[in-house]
Amino acid sequence: MAKHGPPGAKTPPGVLIEVCVTGLAGARTAAEAGADRLELCAVLPVGGTTPSVGLVTSVLEAVDLPVIALIRPREGGFRYHAADREVGAADIAALAALRSSRGRQVAGFAIGALTADGALDRDLLREWRAIAPEREWCLHRAFDHAREPLEALESAIDLGFDRILTSGLAPSVPEGLETLARLAAAAAGRIEILPGGGVTAEGAARILARTGVRSLHLSATRWAPGGMNFEREGISLGSGVASDEARHLETDGERLRSLRRAIGAAPTDRAPSPAGSEGEPDPGAGSEDGEQ
């Protein structure tokens, strides 16, 4: 099986691009277009859910990039009950045990959980993290739904997270830019702040300059037709619009290459903050885990 990694020019030194993908083809496209790290998930339009063992296994075999697996047992918020907690723990254990034929393993996990009052569910996050404490741990965009973000920031640091994926408590990173700058300042190098949600080539330079962060998260997706010559109209497999089920999301390599070119010339009016360790618009721009 051919191995895929970023050819040619690299991301500018010190700036890391994490790309969220939902399939093997997307992982290959992202690697070829210059991603530095992948986050794997499923069902991106709902903010992402846990990817399958098959997908994670295939990507570990095919792509020479660090892989972060999203752990989200279901869509619909971040308050988890006993069954959800059990599934999340089982998923972490199963994905942590995977090893490719070349010995590659999942580099880390993106998790998040809240109490009914909007605080981080410290007990559950501690329990899940203890399953594979040696891996990287990202607090995903559940953070953006926390009642007290600075309290959540301190809790994430106390729990040993390496980074926080956040849009700055806004529908998209450009709208949350000032909050992101404040979060990066409050983090003070104790944990990485990873902006994600609506990150584009047009806005990337401003994000880096205003916040001082040195990493960005995006999905760089577009809607693609399903390729069917015949479609039965008026039948939906779910609660969505039937016509949407004939399409799927795919990773747009050109969008990622455009972002790389943009940040290659990005102004830096602030010192980097130390880290803890052609289609339709991206539907994940305001989603819960990425843009997710």
Taking 3-state DSSP, the helix, strand and coil percentages for the chain, each rounded to the nearest 5, stand at 35, 15, 45
Confidence at residue 266, expressed as pLDDT on a 0 to 100 scale: 38
* CA quadruple 128, 134, 140, 145: dihedral sign: positive
Distances from the Cα of 50 to the Cαs of 54, 129, 140, in angstroms?
A: 12, 15, 12
Is 56 a member of any domain?
yes
The CATH number covering residue 226 comes to 3.20.20.380
Is 118 a member of any domain?
yes
Is 283 a member of any domain?
no
Burial 170-199 (b: 16+ CB within 10 A, else e): bbbbbbbbebbbbbbeebeeebbbbbbbbb
pLDDT tens, position by position, 237-272: 666 544 466 677 888 999 999 999 998 843 333 333
Strands 247-251 and 221-225: antiparallel
Chain centroid to Cα 115, Å, comes to 22
Packing angle, helices 82-96 and 53-62, rounded to 10: 30
Query: Quick check: 77 and 84 in contact, CB under 8 A?
Result: no
Confidence at residue 264, expressed as pLDDT on a 0 to 100 scale: 85
Is 49 a member of any domain?
yes
Is 278 a member of any domain?
no
Angle value at C-alpha 83, between 79 and 89, nearest 5 degrees: 85
- The boundaries of the domain holding residue 218 are 16-264
Is 280 a member of any domain?
no
pLDDT tens, position by position, 135-177: 999 999 999 999 999 999 999 999 999 999 999 999 999 999 9
Query: Quick check: 224 and 249 in contact, CB under 8 A?
Result: yes
pTM above 0.85, yes or no: no
**How many structural domains does the chain have?**
1
How far is it, in rounded angstroms, from Cα 4 to Cα 154?
A: 38
How far is it, in rounded angstroms, from Cα 150 to Cα 208?
A: 21
Is 260 a member of any domain?
yes
What is the pLDDT confidence band of residue 76, given thresholds at 50, 70 and 90? confident
Confidence at residue 119, expressed as pLDDT on a 0 to 100 scale: 97
Mean pLDDT of the chain: 85
Is 282 a member of any domain?
no
Query: Quick check: 235 and 244 in contact, CB under 8 A?
Result: no
How far is it, in rounded angstroms, from Cα 216 to Cα 208?
A: 8
What is the pLDDT confidence band of residue 2, given thresholds at 50, 70 and 90? very low
Greater model confidence, 31 or 222: 31
pLDDT tens, position by position, 187-234: 999 999 999 999 999 999 999 999 999 999 999 877 777 777 777 777
